Amino acid sequence: MDYLSFCRGVLIGGLMGDCYGFLYEGKPAVNYSTPLELLQRSINGFDTKQLMYSDDTQMSLAILRSLRARNSFDAEHLAKEFTTDYFENGSHRCYGGSVGRTFYSLKMMNYKDPYAHAADLFNGTGSYGNGGAMRIAPAALYGLRYSKREFEKIIIDVTRLTHTHPLAICGALLQAYAIQMIFSLIHDHIQLDYVTFIDNLLEKLEKTEYFVNFKQPNWLEALDAYKEKLQIVKYLLIDDKQPSVTNIVDRLGNDLKAINSVPSALYVFLRSLKPIDGIEFDVVTLIPLVVWLLH
């Protein structure tokens, strides 16, 4: 698979996951077969209704536009793209409340000092939501040609325009590193081993140097939290028994916090490498499932 095909697959898969996941956001729990059946009906042409994307896709598109317009990452330019989309086409996209306050502040200050506004949220701790991870794919794809430090920088700087809490930034980094690693595996024709994959993800996270400081208590707590969750992911994957959805949710979570959704999404992706009773996965259903679970 070449670079452009990989990019298209990740972006289109993310769009599909967002559209199908948005149907169930904020609603009572549904059986996991329900979105799969809807997706299959759409693929087969039996269900042709138009679906709506959420703020996650809208902000992903803003990242793509900004990177293309500036031919690099420009924090003020992207902040303006985010804000313009929010005020012109955001009322029905299900933006989080804290994001709205950030965009209002950015607009009032003419996008100067763009990182300060999100950093001031929640008494200076910043948001720990999964929004940074939800929209990080375009930046990760753009950064595939970058050095280690350049890759870290674009991922973290894009994320901290709206999310500055260590849990949010670490979640976005894990998503970005996963994309980076999957591309390398495909490019080098290497079979993905889920235990090795998780170990390498954690190693990359621990070796992140830009902006983060794992010697500080808040960053160390975030790192330890993800280590604990990803160890659970490994345990669930090597267990011969197929855990129930309830068990997975109880142990990994499925809410809007990055720590309670990013590990869950990674589990779904890696679990799909093994047969699952009653479900046949393929590339078309896999990526949307991951993003649906993030919802």
Phi and psi dihedrals of 112, rounded to 5?
A: -80, 150
Listed residue (140, 134, 62) closest to 70, CA to CA: 62
User: Is 56 assigned to a binding site?
Assistant: yes
* Helices and strands of the chain, counted as H and E runs: 16, 0
Concatenate the DSSP letters of all residues of 160-191 into one string.
Answer: TTT--SHHHHHHHHHHHHHHHHHHHHHHTT--
The encoded tokens of residue 212 equal 């983060």
Say if CB 134 and CB 21 are below 8 A apart: no
Nearest-angstrom CA–CA distance, 224 and 267: 18
Alpha-carbon distances of 172 from 38, 42, 102, rounded to whole Å: 28, 30, 19
Dihedral of alpha carbons 288, 28, 51, 79, sign: negative
Concatenate the DSSP letters of all residues of 53-94 into one string.
Answer: --HHHHHHHHHHHHHHHHSS--HHHHHHHHHHHHHHH-TTTT
Say if CB 75 and CB 114 are below 8 A apart: yes
Question: What's at 189, amino acid-wise?
Answer: H
Nearest-angstrom CA–CA distance, 236 and 232: 6
Q: Which residue has the tokens 């260590």?
A: 166
Nearest-angstrom CA–CA distance, 15 and 246: 26
User: Is 55 assigned to a binding site?
Assistant: yes
Binding residues for Mg(2+): 54-56
Annotated binding-site positions: 54-56
